[in-house]
Every structure is written in structure tokens, then in C-alpha cells.
A and B are shown apart, each in its own frame.
With several copies, the nearest count.
Chain A
Amino acid sequence: MNNQDKTNLSPKDYASSQEVRWCPGCGDYAILKTMTQTLSKLQLKKEDTVFVSGIGCAARFPYYLDTYGFHTIHGRAPAVATGVKLANPNLSVWVITGDGDGLSIGGNHLMHALRRNIDINILLFNNEIYGLTKGQFSPTSRLNTRSPSSPEGSLDSPVPPCKFALGSGASFIARAIDKDKKGLGMVLERSYEHKGATFTEILQNCIVYNDGVFNDHTGKEAGLDKQLHLVHGQPMLFGEDKQFGLALDLDLSPIIVDAKKELSKVLIHDETNEMLALMLMNLNTNQFPMAFGVIYAKPKNTFENDFHQKQNRFKRDKSVLDILKNGTTWKVD
């Protein structure tokens, strides 16, 4: 498998020899496919690419890619990835996590990676359930989710991943759908290009334990009036015919307007506007469409840039023994 000399790597070249072991029909397959396509499109060097994951179905992802891969422990992938990136800033580092891995046990590391803005790409496969441990409700499960550990329905208000990322000070926040090659592919490319930590929520269907939870917004029946695909600088239009537009009321709450008639009222998507980002994340998806694409992106200094600049990249210019000798010493002859 010597692809070193290949000038052009195909999506297949990025696949490892391991048999993929998710349940048939699992949304993870589609994500994996879009990932290899994106890697190929970007022609990332396999040896310079590292996938780090925690534990969960999603976290098996690295095994299926012929890049460097590290399947670590539950919830800690962002911390491990931080170490990888600090040790070698030339690597393209991707974190694969689930809603349990990333937001239940691992919420703290996620927050700190985002606030530090370390240049890693975090993909959270949100299936609103703990897949690997057989279907208990997760921190993103909706209220009243029935599961083996909540037979009468869960009581926990879920945490919305993108909003959590916003509160954590993320510089890049996006959302995509497992099977939406185009939307997901675009978001993956954008996150690769973004310097600093990126956070992408991927709605992923767990066919075994939570089949169809996203159908209202991602299913074929759902239709385009349930999805708002964001493009920076473009009006927020949706509907089959782009006939609807999103606007703001006086009290800053969102309203839907007839885009054909009141185009001027329609909001223009501005990725760098955090207030708009919050509004988009808070959209009540019973009445409103769900926002997809890059919801928020505003570059800021990345941690490891400063780290490597200030700290001189592990260079060793002195001997520690000389330092000691230049301190307070005395001689015995």
C-alpha cells in the first residue's frame, strides 16, 4: 500500500483494510464516505493526518481510515488531541466524538479545547443516544426519551451542542446531516481551512436505538422548508422555492417572512455575528427550519500558534547543567 508516490489519492486510498463494523444502515457509514471524499478532495497527506477519538460507536471511526489514528478513552479525545497538536503542529488533527463521549463525560475537555482555540477539528456525531452501550438516553436526548435507563421517559433537559460550543467561546461552529454529502463535505472543508478549533455537530441516525429522531428535519419527507442552509453574505432563505425568509422581530425574536414579497427584511447571514448565531441555534424547530452549514466563524489567535512562537518549539539551546553551574554554587577542591 505504498501511496507515497501517488500524486493523486482517491477516496479509497484513505480507507484502511479493516472491515467496517457499524450496524447496517447506521448513519456513520455515510459520514465515513464523505470524509474519505473530503480527504481526497483536499489531498491531505495520510501521514500528516491524525484521527483521535474517545469511546462509542462513532469513536471507531479512526480504525477505518488509513491515516494515523488513536482510539483513546471515553470523553478524553480533545485532551489527547491537544497533546498531539502541541507536540507536532504540522499534523492535521481531527477529533471524532459522540454526544455521550463529547457532551456527557467529556464536556469539560470539549469546552477547554474550544476556548483555547487549539487548531483541531472536532466532529460530534449526535445521534441523541448512547449507541455502543445499547441505547440509554444521552445529554442531547429530548425530554421524555424512553430508553433502558429511562423507561418512563428522561427528565433531563438536553444541552444543544452548538450553543454549548458558543458558550465555550468556539471560533467555528457548524452543523450538518450525515447523509448530506454536499453540506457535510462543505463543512468539513471549511473546518479544515479554519485556523483554530472547529466544532461541527453532525446529525447522525442510529438506526438501532434511535431511528428517525431527526426525520422531521433530515428525512426525505421533511423537505426543504425544514432546512435553512446558511451561506455567508447571503439572505437566509429556505423552502423548496426559497420562498421563505428568516427575519428578526423588534424584540430580537425570529419571524418568517415571505421572501418573494419582503426580501429586504430577510436577514443576511453573517458568520461573524455571535448574536445571529445564538438566534439560529435557538430556533424552535417546531415552527422554524433547522440551521445547517457554518453558523458561526470568527478567527482568533490559536493556542498552539502562541505556544510554539513563544515557547520556541521544544528547541534545546542550553545544557541544564550549565544553567545549574551558572546559579549559586560553591567549589570543593
Chain B
Amino acid sequence: MSSDQEKSVIIRFAGDSGDGVQLLGSQFLKTSAESKENFLTFPDFPAEIRAPAGTTFGVSAYQLQVGGIHIASPGDKADVLVAFNPAALITNLQYVKESGLILVNEDTFTERNLSKAGYDKNPLVDGSLGLFQMIRLPISSQVGEALKDSDLSKSEIERTKNFWALGLISWMFDRNIDSLTEWINNKFKNNNISNANIKTLEAGYSYGDIHEIEQKIPKLYTSKGAFDAGTYTAIKGSDAMAYGLAAAVEITNIPILFCSYPITPASPVLHSLAKHKDLGVETFQAEDEIAAICSAIGASYAGILGVTSSSGPGIALKTEAMGLALSAELPLVIINSQRGGPSTGLPTKTEQSDLNQAIYGRNGDAPIPVIASSSPSDNFYTAIEAVQIAIKYMTPVLLLTDGYIANASEPWMIPSINDIPKLDLVTNTSTEHTSQAKAFERNSETLARTWIKPGTPNEMYRTGGLEKDVLTGNISYDPANHQAMTDLRFKKIACLQQDLPEQKLSRNNGSKNLILSWGSTYGVIQETLNTCENLNADHLHLRHIYPLPANFTELVQCYEKILVPELNQGQLAKYIQAETSREVISFSKVTGQPFTVDEIKERIVGLEGTK
């Protein structure tokens, strides 16, 4: 890290699924937020629901980077790892920096646990961790000691471990634990439990004070973020998506029926919306993904906005119905929280490999706008934009986000409703017509047909998925009409293209190299460019993927090399070549993990060598 302004620390918590690591992480995040740190977090869930205790496949982790003004990723390797048991240590060691600091709960390093984790010998004593700074903490005994007078059962006492660790870490980062205490009091209905948690929190905190010297527990400092004035919250991507949809209702005054079938990592949006009533968004859990999109289409036919949400395999099932929404020209938003593929793939891991499916994955010539979120908070804005495009152009819109964005959190200034970018939603003032044809009158600017809502007298009309006469909307098998309708569907996209904001560069240094990216890689690329010195590259980040912004081709024309980093086998790269017949350099990674700063940096440096 280049300057003091940039001082950030990467910390990783790892333990059994039952150890409360996610809670620990998110509470530490809160203290960071309160002390006005910048941060970005990324939980690394185990693939299993709750594997047997002590096993490697049951390990849950939570990584966050705090401090500095430029951080926009959870960081590469951790400066600090807190490992609650041997399985957590063995599986997470690979994510720790050389000479990084490791805090372990030494009480769990029993023979049984060691062998479950696959250790032949105890790594705490066999010297194999010599490269790291190791702090052995008797967490289990410490909480036992702190709570020896409580009425709690042994396992209940053991379960307060995460608060002990939270206390110690808070001490190390010099955080105030008052608000944590308050939160614990509110969270746990059972007084005994909340008292116990507070006690161990405090015990962890004092442990730092007392054992600082003897155990060489360091104090860690980070620099503050440089935030504009405003009210901030820590926003998780899936929540931002839900709030964005709600805000769209507020802006458009059109209620939303959110229809979904659970799937990882898309479900949290459903859960988040289900919690909130009185926002004009209702949720419907359908019997499958096809029913979900079809009921959303039904809602749109009936005059409110249907939204549906899923991940790759579920999106595959929706592709037939997307064609119906396109053909019937109904507004619809389809959200894809991408995960590792193909097939069931790696459900809990992140990937950007559904881009092809989004752009091309339907039968027939079936153009549907595609936009993509770049960060957790961006989900809020893309949701609003997708809704507005859908309504303004009477079209389904595909919104791409991914598992990384869904689960990551970042600080976000809560906007006021007036600050949110809006599209002019035009409505057609219709001339005299028979009822059937009225629904097919088009707005001259957007080519959108008129959204007639059942219940409106004298405007009854019939529509469906067969080709329709361009004027009356009646079924038509006429060859020229089919050409006209096909052209019309593409012209709508051209109208939208004119309506999109001009594409800007995210970094313009006058370089001859361009980094061209989309989706969740935004943060790590920005962080790389801002924190590594002397990188010779400009940066263009795409939010509007189909259609591309009107000035896109011109904008990229002057670059000699265009590097396209993405978490798939080069899908955007090929798409750009298809759209511009211009060669680009694909930088692909398909491991289920986000890019690291180091990886991006290396490739940018390497650009000098490519021809």
C-alpha cells in the first residue's frame, strides 16, 4: 500500500458453521462503519448446510478489508486470520499473507479435531507455521472462566466464543464496544444469553489489554475513508437489490409483484423483500422458476410490474417465457445472481459466466436489454434502472449481478429519492382506434406499445406469443409483417441505445491500454489502479451491455490493447469482438473466486509485453 492515506487491513475470520463467524464478521464491520472506516466484506460460505463439527467442508469464513479511501474489494490475502479450529486453519492458511498474523483458539487443537482436519501433527507446535506470526488464544477456557457463574449450559457458553474474539479484535483495532453491547441487548431476547455475550465480549477486550505485551498482541491502525457528507449505512448487495426495487415503486408509482423460486445465491433478495411490507412490493414464492416468471408476466399483463429473480439453472428454465414477454411486449425484470457453472456447478461460489445466456440465450431473434451491477450498492441503482427501462420500452430486461455482489457489504450513502437518476417514463396518448389495436399503438420515441390494463373499459385486447400484425396486434403469418416486427424489436433496442447515458471512462490517463470490464470486477480493478503505482492503463466499466452505449465503439477505437478481465472463459471479450470486429485480449479466471489485486496488477504490467 502506497501511502498512509491508504492504510488498510485485511482480516479473515474462519470457524465451524456453528461458530458464529458470519455474525462476528458483520458486527466487526459495524464497528468499522461507526469509526468511519472504508470497508468491503465477503463471506465465504461452506457448500454444505451444516456439516459435522470440525470437518474441513464445514468451515465458514468471512473476510473484510477495512480502512483507506480506495478499497473496493475484500482484499487478496489476509493480514490477520482468526481461526476457531484446526479445520479452519488448514483450509484458510492459503488466504493469509506471508508473515501474516494468525490468532487461533488453541483449546480446539485436540487430537480428534486435528485428525478431522487432516493434520498428522499439531501445527501449533511442529514449527510448520514458522513464516507466520502466531498468537495462541485459549478462547474456550477464557469464556468458560468468564461465565463460570452463569446458568448457561456448557454448549451455550461455548457458543459465546465469537463475542470473545470480537472483543479482542475490537481492542486491537481500538474500537468502541458500546454499540455492540447495545446491539447484543436488543438482539437476544433471553437475558441470560445477552448478558453472557456481553461478558465474553468484554473479557475478550480486556484480554488484549492484559496480555498485550506477553502475547505480543499488536494494535492495528487503519486510515479513515474519505467520504462525502451524508448518512451512511453498510449495505449488502442482496438488500440493495431489494431496496432498489422498492425505490423503483416509489419513483414509478407502479407496484411490483416479485415472483421467485429459492436458489442460491439469489434467494436473499426474496427473503429481504418478504420482510418488508408497505413498500408496494409483494412477494410470491412460485412452484418453480417457470411459474415464477410466468406469474410475473401475468402481473405485468394485469398492469403492475412483474419481477423475477434466480441464478443460472433457474434462468435457463425461464428462457422460453422471456420470449413470451418480448413477443407480447410486456415490461418485466429478470434478475440473475450468477454462480459457478455449468449445470449445478458451484452454487455457493461466484462467477460471471451467464453473460452469453443473458445476451443470446433464447430461441428466435429475441433481443432483450442486459444491464449489470458493479457493486453491492450498485444493485440499488441497477434495479431502479432496469425497472424504468422495462416500463418505458415495454420490454423484459435482464439484470445481471452475482454471488459475490449479493453477499458482499460496503458503506453506502443513503441517497434521497430526488438524487436517483430517472428515465422519463412516457405514456401514449392514444388516438381513436378499435379496442384491439389500441394496445398496439406505439410511442414514436421509444416504439413501446401502449400498456393497457385489464379493468379498463373499451380497451379489451388479445395478445400472445404468436407473431402479431404490426398495426392491429392480431395474429399474422404474413411474411412482410414478420420482417417488420423483427425489425421493430431491434429498433426498440436502438431507441434505448440513444436513451442511455454516454459511456465514460472510469480512469482516463491517456494510456494506449484499456481495461474493459463489467459486473462485480469493478471494485478490484479500481482498487488495483488506485493503489498500485504506475499502472499504464485506462479503465472502462460497462453497465449497459446490450445494447452497448452509443459512443462505445468510438470510445474504444483509439486503444491499442484492450484487456478484458472476467470471471468466465472470455464471454464479454467475444461479445465485444462480435459487436466491433475489433480484437481484444481476454483475461479469464474461472475458480469460483473473485480476482485479486495482484492478479489484475500482474496482467496490466504484462500488457507491455503483449503484442
Residues on A lying within 8 angstroms of B by beta carbon are 1-4, 16-19, 21-24, 45-48, 50, 52, 55, 57, 62-63, 65-76, 79-88, 90-91, 104-105, 107-109, 112, 130-134, 136-137, 139, 148-152, 156, 208, 307, 311-312, 314-321, 323-325, 327-333
A167 to chain B, nearest CB (A): 16
Alpha-carbon distance between A17 and B502 when the two chains are bound, in angstroms: 47
* Chain B residues, CB < 8 A from A68: 454, 460-462
Q: Is A24 touching B52 in the complex (CB atoms < 8 A)?
A: yes
Out of A73, A148, A319, A324, which one reaches B271, CB within 8 Å? A148
* Chain B residues, CB < 8 A from A112: 286-287, 291
* Chain B residues, CB < 8 A from A45: 457
Kindly name the residue among B49, B270, B281, B287 whose own CB sees the greatest number of chain A CB atoms within 10 A. B287
- Spot the interface stretch: B69-77, B147-155, B189-197, B293-301: B293-301
Alpha-carbon distance between A315 and B249 when the two chains are bound, in angstroms: 10
A326 to chain B, nearest CB (A): 10
Known: A108-B287, A319-B250. A330 touches B343 (CB 8 A): no
Q: Is A332 touching B36 in the complex (CB atoms < 8 A)?
A: yes
Alpha-carbon distance between A68 and B301 when the two chains are bound, in angstroms: 10
Q: Is A84 touching B301 in the complex (CB atoms < 8 A)?
A: yes
Q: Is B434 touching A83 in the complex (CB atoms < 8 A)?
A: no
Q: Is A73 touching B320 in the complex (CB atoms < 8 A)?
A: yes
Q: Is A83 touching B458 in the complex (CB atoms < 8 A)?
A: no
* Chain B residues, CB < 8 A from A330: 33-34, 36, 231-233
Alpha-carbon distance between A312 and B277 when the two chains are bound, in angstroms: 8
Against A, the Cβ 8 Å flags (1 = close, 0 = not) of B394-438 are 000000000000000000011111000000000000000011100
Alpha-carbon distance between A72 and B49 when the two chains are bound, in angstroms: 19
Which secondary structure dominates where chain B touches chain A?
mixed
* Chain A residues, CB < 8 A from B211: none
Q: Is B313's beta carbon under 8 Å from chain A? A: yes
* Chain B residues, CB < 8 A from A321: 247, 414-417
- Spot the interface stretch: B85-93, B222-230, B441-449, B529-537: B222-230
* Chain B residues, CB < 8 A from A82: 284, 286, 291, 294-295, 298
Alpha-carbon distance between A79 and B463 when the two chains are bound, in angstroms: 17
Alpha-carbon distance between A181 and B137 when the two chains are bound, in angstroms: 45
Out of B234, B434, B436, B454, which one reaches A328, CB within 8 Å? B234
Against A, the Cβ 8 Å flags (1 = close, 0 = not) of B3-47 are 000000000000000000000000000100110100000000000
- Spot the interface stretch: B168-176, B258-266, B354-362: B258-266
* Chain B residues, CB < 8 A from A70: 298, 301, 328, 462-464
* Chain B residues, CB < 8 A from A327: 233
Q: Is A71 touching B280 in the complex (CB atoms < 8 A)?
A: no
**Nearest B residue to A209 by beta-carbon distance?**
B49
Number of A-B residue pairs with CB-CB distance less than 8 Å in the complex they form: 283
Q: Is A80 touching B463 in the complex (CB atoms < 8 A)?
A: no
Out of B227, B291, B343, B466, which one reaches A79, CB within 8 Å? B291
Q: Which residues in window 305-336 of B have CB below 8 A to A?
A: 306, 313, 320-321, 323-324, 328
Q: Is B267 touching A134 in the complex (CB atoms < 8 A)?
A: yes
Q: Is B48's beta carbon under 8 Å from chain A? A: yes
Kindly state the interface size class of chain B when it binds its partner: 35 or more
Alpha-carbon distance between A63 and B270 when the two chains are bound, in angstroms: 31
Alpha-carbon distance between A86 and B258 when the two chains are bound, in angstroms: 11
* Chain A residues, CB < 8 A from B474: 18
Q: Is B201's beta carbon under 8 Å from chain A? A: no
Sort A-B residue pairs by CB-CB distance and give the 7 closest, nearest first. A83-B298, A71-B464, A83-B295, A316-B280, A314-B255, A69-B462, A79-B294
Q: Is B522's beta carbon under 8 Å from chain A? A: no
**Nearest B residue to A107 by beta-carbon distance?**
B287
* Chain B residues, CB < 8 A from A132: 49
Out of B36, B306, B460, which one reaches A46, CB within 8 Å? B460
Alpha-carbon distance between A110 and B364 when the two chains are bound, in angstroms: 28
Q: Is A149 touching B270 in the complex (CB atoms < 8 A)?
A: yes
**Nearest A residue to B224 by beta-carbon distance?**
A332
Q: Is B611's beta carbon under 8 Å from chain A? A: no
Q: Is B454 touching A48 in the complex (CB atoms < 8 A)?
A: yes
A72 to chain B, nearest CB (A): 6
Q: Which residues in window 523-560 of B have CB below 8 A to A?
A: none
Q: Is A52 touching B454 in the complex (CB atoms < 8 A)?
A: no
B438 to chain A, nearest CB (A): 12
Against A, the Cβ 8 Å flags (1 = close, 0 = not) of B97-122 are 00000000000000000000000000
Q: Is B278 touching A316 in the complex (CB atoms < 8 A)?
A: yes
Alpha-carbon distance between A84 and B300 when the two chains are bound, in angstroms: 8
Q: Is A79 touching B279 in the complex (CB atoms < 8 A)?
A: no
Q: Is B276's beta carbon under 8 Å from chain A? A: yes
Q: Is B504's beta carbon under 8 Å from chain A? A: no
Out of B51, B301, B456, which one reaches A47, CB within 8 Å? B456
Alpha-carbon distance between A45 and B324 when the two chains are bound, in angstroms: 27
Q: Is B389's beta carbon under 8 Å from chain A? A: no
Q: Is A91 touching B302 in the complex (CB atoms < 8 A)?
A: yes
Out of A69, A314, A331, which one reaches B230, CB within 8 Å? A331
Q: Is B298 touching A324 in the complex (CB atoms < 8 A)?
A: no
Q: Is A148 touching B267 in the complex (CB atoms < 8 A)?
A: yes
Alpha-carbon distance between A158 and B455 when the two chains are bound, in angstroms: 31
Alpha-carbon distance between A49 and B290 when the two chains are bound, in angstroms: 24
Q: Is B279 touching A316 in the complex (CB atoms < 8 A)?
A: yes
Q: Is B257's beta carbon under 8 Å from chain A? A: yes
Q: Is B36 touching A73 in the complex (CB atoms < 8 A)?
A: no
Kindly name the residue among A45, A134, A332 whose own CB sees the greatest number of chain B CB atoms within 10 A. A332
Q: Is A88 touching B455 in the complex (CB atoms < 8 A)?
A: yes
**Nearest B residue to A136 by beta-carbon distance?**
B262
* Chain A residues, CB < 8 A from B463: 69-71
Known: A48-B455, A108-B288, A315-B278. A63 touches B462 (CB 8 A): yes
B423 to chain A, nearest CB (A): 19
Q: Is B267 touching A317 in the complex (CB atoms < 8 A)?
A: no
Alpha-carbon distance between A86 and B292 when the two chains are bound, in angstroms: 13
* Chain A residues, CB < 8 A from B30: 328
* Chain B residues, CB < 8 A from A76: 290-291, 294, 321
**Nearest B residue to A68 by beta-carbon distance?**
B454
Could you show 16 A-B contacts with beta carbons less than 8 Å apart?
Answer: A17-B436, A23-B50, A72-B465, A83-B299, A85-B302, A86-B282, A87-B298, A87-B299, A104-B288, A109-B287, A133-B262, A150-B285, A316-B255, A323-B279, A332-B227, A333-B229
Alpha-carbon distance between A200 and B546 when the two chains are bound, in angstroms: 45
Known: A81-B298, A149-B283. A317 touches B455 (CB 8 A): no
* Chain A residues, CB < 8 A from B158: none
Known: A21-B48, A76-B294. A105 touches B455 (CB 8 A): no
